Every structure is written in C-alpha cells, then in structure tokens.
Amino acid sequence: MECTNCGRDFPKELIAPMNSSEGHHVRLCPICALKLRNVIHDLPKLTPFEGPKAHQMFLAAVRYLGHRAPKWAKKVAKRSKAEGGDDGV
C-alpha cells in the first residue's frame, strides 16, 4: 500500500488512513507521520513517538525500508536501541 506523502510502498498494516484538515483522505506511513507530527508540534526532528504502538510501527517501517530509509529515521531508530527501548534497527 502506498503512502500518500512519500509515495513509498509499505505492507498494509504499516499504513494509517487519515483525513486531512481539507477533507482529503490520505494514507501515511509511520515515517511520514512522525515527521509531520514533529513539524506540527514544533518538536526536534529526531523526537520519537511516545506511544509504544506508534513507535513499534515506526521501527517496523524503518526495518522494512532498510538502506532506503531516510537517514534521520535511521538515527531515531538507532537512538531508540541505544536508550534500551524497542529493538531499533
């Protein structure tokens, strides 16, 4: 299933259907969702999700993309692993 924002394909369970403020139906991958959340809330770029389910989905998306994952996303995942959180990448 394709992310409306980045255009990358992900397994269906990693895509979240959402409605935009303009009423458009969008499908976001966890990587784009985190990036968007951090921008909207004026958080540092490398701020991970706080909720465990969202963070697990983010890590799964980074693992799925492997070397094709954005560098900043790999840093978030690596930081999670270093801090003893979920398994990271």
Q: How do the domains of the chain map onto residue ranges?
A: 12-82
- For residues 38 and 63, give the distance between their C-alpha atoms in angstroms, rounded to a whole number: 21
Quick one: 70 exposed, middle or buried, by C-beta within 10 A (0-12, 13-18, 19+)?
A: middle
Beta bridge partners of 2: 9
- This prediction has a pTM of 0.86
pLDDT digits over 13-71, tens only?
999 998 877 888 899 999 999 999 999 999 999 999 999 999 999 999 999 999 999 99
Which pair of tokens denotes residue 14? Answer: 């990693």
Residue 28 phi/psi, 5-degree rounding, is -115, 140
